[in-house]
Structure 1
Amino acid sequence: MQEFLSSAMPFLAVALAIIAGLAASWLVRRIVLRLNRKQEALRETSRVARLPLRFALCLIGVRIALAATTNDADWRRTLDHALVIALIASVAWLAIAVLLIIETLVTTRYRVDVADNRRARRLRTQVILARRIGAALIAIVALGIILLTFPAVQALGAGLLASAGLISIVAGLAAQTSLVNVFAGIQLAFTDAIRVDDVVVVQKEWGRIEEITLTYIVVHIWDDRRLILPSTYFTTTPFENWTRRQSEVMGTVEFDLDWRAPVSAMRAELKRVLAGTELWDQRVGILQITDATAGYVRVRILVSAADSAALFDLRCLIREELVLFLQEKHPTALPHFRLESLPAGIVAPDARTPTDPHDSQLFTGSLEAVERSKAFSGPGEDVFEDRDKSIAGQN
Structure 2
Amino acid sequence: MALPTTFIASAPAWINSAITTAIAATVAIAIALVVHAIAVRLLSGLLDEFDGVRDIGIARQLSRPLRWALIALALAFAARQVPWIADAWAHVSGLAIPAIIGWLALVLVQIATRAMALRADITTENNLQARRRLTRLTILSRIATFVVIVITIALMLLSIPSVRNVGVTLIASAGLAGLAVGAAAQPALKSLIAGIQMALTEPIRIDDVVIINGEWGRIEDIRTTYVVVKVWDERRLVVPTSKFMEDTFQNWTRESSELLGTVFLYLDPATHIAPVREEAERQIRAHTNWDGRVAGVQVTDTTASAMEVRLLMSARDAGLLFDLRCAVREAMLDWLRREMPQAIARKRLEMERKTDTIEAG
TM-score (norm 2): 0.84
Q: Distance in 1 between matches of 2:94 and 2:352?
A: 104
Q: Distance in 2 between matches of 1:266 and 1:227?
A: 41
> Is the CA contact (8 Å cut-off) linking 2:140 and 2:199 kept in structure 1?
no
Task: Indicate the residue corresponding to 2:253 in structure 1.
Answer: 243
With over 3 angstroms needed to count, the CA separation of the structure-2 counterparts of 1:155 and 1:22, relative to structure 1, is farther
Paired AA for residue 105 in structure 1: A
With over 3 angstroms needed to count, the CA separation of the structure-2 counterparts of 1:110 and 1:158, relative to structure 1, is same
Task: Indicate the residue corresponding to 2:37 in structure 1.
Answer: 22
Task: Indicate the residue corresponding to 2:60 in structure 1.
Answer: 47
Question: Are positions 1:37 and 2:47 aligned together?
Answer: no
With over 3 angstroms needed to count, the CA separation of the structure-2 counterparts of 1:46 and 1:316, relative to structure 1, is farther
Paired AA for residue 71 in structure 1: V
Matches within 5 A, 1:163-178: 163-178=173-188
With over 3 angstroms needed to count, the CA separation of the structure-2 counterparts of 1:319 and 1:22, relative to structure 1, is same
* CA deviation after TM superposition for structure 1 residue 6, in Å: 5.7
With over 3 angstroms needed to count, the CA separation of the structure-2 counterparts of 1:83 and 1:171, relative to structure 1, is closer
* Structure 2 runs not aligned, ≥5 long: 1-15
> Is the CA contact (8 Å cut-off) linking 2:212 and 2:250 kept in structure 1?
yes
* Structure 1 runs not aligned, ≥5 long: 348-395
> Is the CA contact (8 Å cut-off) linking 2:260 and 2:314 kept in structure 1?
yes
With over 3 angstroms needed to count, the CA separation of the structure-2 counterparts of 1:8 and 1:155, relative to structure 1, is closer
Q: Distance in 2 between matches of 1:6 and 1:46?
A: 34
* CA deviation after TM superposition for structure 1 residue 345, in Å: 6.1
Q: Distance in 2 between matches of 1:289 and 1:174?
A: 58
Task: Indicate the residue corresponding to 1:59 in structure 2.
Answer: 72
Q: Distance in 2 between matches of 1:154 and 1:344?
A: 104
Deviation digits for residues 137-157 of structure 1, max 9, x if unmatched?
111221222233334445555
With over 3 angstroms needed to count, the CA separation of the structure-2 counterparts of 1:229 and 1:95, relative to structure 1, is same
SS of 1:298's equivalent in the other structure is: strand
> Is the CA contact (8 Å cut-off) linking 2:291 and 2:315 kept in structure 1?
yes
Q: Distance in 1 between matches of 2:195 and 2:20?
A: 59
> Is the CA contact (8 Å cut-off) linking 1:41 and 1:108 kept in structure 2?
no
> Is the CA contact (8 Å cut-off) linking 1:18 and 1:62 kept in structure 2?
no
Q: Distance in 1 between matches of 2:89 and 2:48?
A: 35
* CA deviation after TM superposition for structure 1 residue 334, in Å: 1.6
Question: Are positions 1:108 and 2:121 aligned together?
Answer: no
* CA deviation after TM superposition for structure 1 residue 130, in Å: 1.0
Deviation digits for residues 55-95 of structure 1, max 9, x if unmatched?
3233323443x336x5212x542245435633432221221
* CA deviation after TM superposition for structure 1 residue 201, in Å: 1.1
Paired AA for residue 271 in structure 2: A
> Is the CA contact (8 Å cut-off) linking 1:63 and 1:80 kept in structure 2?
no
Task: Indicate the residue corresponding to 1:188 in structure 2.
Answer: 198
* CA deviation after TM superposition for structure 1 residue 303, in Å: 0.7
> Is the CA contact (8 Å cut-off) linking 2:32 and 2:67 kept in structure 1?
no
Question: Which range moves more in the overlay, 143-152 or 154-163?
Answer: 154-163
> Is the CA contact (8 Å cut-off) linking 2:290 and 2:324 kept in structure 1?
yes
With over 3 angstroms needed to count, the CA separation of the structure-2 counterparts of 1:184 and 1:13, relative to structure 1, is closer
Alpha-carbon RMSD across the aligned residues, in angstroms, is 2.7
Deviation digits for residues 116-166 of structure 1, max 9, x if unmatched?
322322222221111111111111221222233334445555444333343
With over 3 angstroms needed to count, the CA separation of the structure-2 counterparts of 1:137 and 1:305, relative to structure 1, is same
Q: Distance in 2 between matches of 1:260 and 1:325?
A: 18
The structure 1 segments of at least 4 consecutive aligned residues displaced by more than 6 Å after TM superposition are none
Paired AA for residue 258 in structure 2: E
Question: Are positions 1:334 and 2:316 aligned together?
Answer: no
Larger Rg over CA atoms: 1
Q: Distance in 1 between matches of 2:155 and 2:167?
A: 12
Question: Are positions 1:228 and 2:238 aligned together?
Answer: yes
Deviation digits for residues 9-39 of structure 1, max 9, x if unmatched?
42244323222223223323432343x3344
Percent identity, aligned pairs only, is 35
SS of 2:264's equivalent in the other structure is: strand
* CA deviation after TM superposition for structure 1 residue 112, in Å: 1.7
SS of 1:286's equivalent in the other structure is: strand
> Is the CA contact (8 Å cut-off) linking 1:24 and 1:57 kept in structure 2?
no
Paired AA for residue 273 in structure 1: Q
Task: Indicate the residue corresponding to 1:373 in structure 2.
Answer: none
Task: Indicate the residue corresponding to 2:227 in structure 1.
Answer: 217
* CA deviation after TM superposition for structure 1 residue 337, in Å: 3.3
Q: Distance in 1 between matches of 2:272 and 2:64?
A: 72
With over 3 angstroms needed to count, the CA separation of the structure-2 counterparts of 1:219 and 1:285, relative to structure 1, is same
> Is the CA contact (8 Å cut-off) linking 1:22 and 1:57 kept in structure 2?
no
Q: Distance in 1 between matches of 2:144 and 2:45?
A: 26
Q: Distance in 1 between matches of 2:164 and 2:259?
A: 61
Question: Which range moves more in the overlay, 117-126 or 216-225?
Answer: 117-126
Deviation digits for residues 342-377 of structure 1, max 9, x if unmatched?
657659xxxxxxxxxxxxxxxxxxxxxxxxxxxxxx
